[in-house]
Structure 1
Amino acid sequence: MTSNSDFEPRIAAFFCNWCTYGGADLAGVSRLQYPPNIQVIRIPCTGRMSPKFILQAFRNGADGVWVSGCHPGDCHYIAGNLFARRRFAIMRNLLEYCGLEQGRLHFSWISSAEASKFQETVIKVTESVSNLGPARFLLKGMEQVA
């Protein structure tokens, strides 16, 4: 058994191509330091992201999931992030009902010019998931793939 101090979480990070992905790129170009625990998946818009992606990330062994896109009102596709905000509020409640601790699923709004906010958020997300330890999340009828 690994103690939480030795635990390095695996975090699936779904980033909007137009905003958060650009913020991550700017953080890298600016040589800002942040934990390397995220696996970035670039998506066209958070509004087009299926909640099934979150479930699949946990089924495939992610200890946490982070979804981030444009600020409300600044979506490249007009209102995609507003749809995402509603969808993921429901998704968070569903996952909590299924036994997922609240600190494993994170949502944020980061623009392509906010490199320091990206850095702060990745640190916060990583610390939150690290404090919970390894995920032991299974939905009824879904076996963990070894």
Structure 2
Amino acid sequence: MSDFEPTIVAFVCNWCTYTAADLAGTSRMTQRPNVRLIRMMCTGMVDPKYIIKALLSGADAVLVSGCHPGDCHYINGNYKARRRVKLLKEMLSNFGIDPRRVRLTWVGASEGNEFAATVNALVEEVRELGPCLAQPLAV
């Protein structure tokens, strides 16, 4: 599996994690190019069906990352995201998807180094898990 390069879809908060990703890039911090960012106004807007759709469409993992709890620009969006991701991870194994393929993190706007470290660690972990073989259910 040494040739395997995972594809990771990241739903990131506009106010914190997206800004941290921008900071990591402009500061030329070393990070893997495997992550595709999708900027959301808040992690509370990330519907679990977006995560499932990403996995079924070929993503090997999904990262949801936003403001630290208590610092949400929309008051409680990150608490909503935390509840949703927790419930989704409990259900994923029923469908043959390893729950470790979904990660929720909190990265503040000034934490570019934390974003780069999170991305690098997630890429290595997913590389060890191998490709996601999630298939759409036949109805």
TM-score band by shorter chain is over 0.9
Q: Alignment partner for residue 43 of structure 2, among 20, 30, 46?
A: 46
Structure 2 unmatched ranges of 5 or more: none
- Structure 1 residue ranges (4+ consecutive) displaced by more than 2 angstroms after TM superposition: 138-142
Secondary structure, aligned partner of 1:35: coil
CA distance in 2, matches of 1:13, 1:115: 15
Report the alpha carbon displacement of residue 141 of structure 1 after superposing the two structures with TM.
Answer: 2.6
C-alpha displacement of 1:130: 0.7
In 1, Cα distance between equivalents of 2:120 and 2:103: 12
Q: How far apart are residue 106 of structure 1 and its match?
A: 0.8
Residues 20 and 68, structure 1, Cα contact 8 Å, conserved in 2? yes
Q: Which residue of 2 aligns with 1:98?
A: 95
1:43 to partner: Cα distance:
0.5
Percent identity at matched positions?
48
CA contact (8 A) 1:98 1:139 kept: no
Q: What's the CA shift for 1:52?
A: 0.8
Q: What one-letter code is carried by the residue in structure 1 that aligns with 2:11? A: F
Of stretches 74-83 and 90-99 in structure 1, the one that deviates more from structure 2 is 90-99
* 2:78 aligned partner, one-letter code: N
Q: Where does 1:1-146 land on structure 2 (aligned, <5 Å)?
A: 4-141=1-138
Give, in angstroms, the shift of residue 103 of structure 1: 2.2
Residue type matched to 1:83 in 2? K
Per-residue Cα deviation, 1:62-113 (whole angstroms, up to 9, x for no partner): 1111110110000010110011101110011111221111321111000010
Letter in 2 for 1:122: V
For normalisation by structure 1, the TM-score amounts to 0.91
Structure 1: which 5+ residue stretches go unaligned? none
Contact 1:17–1:44 (Cα < 8 Å) also in 2:
yes
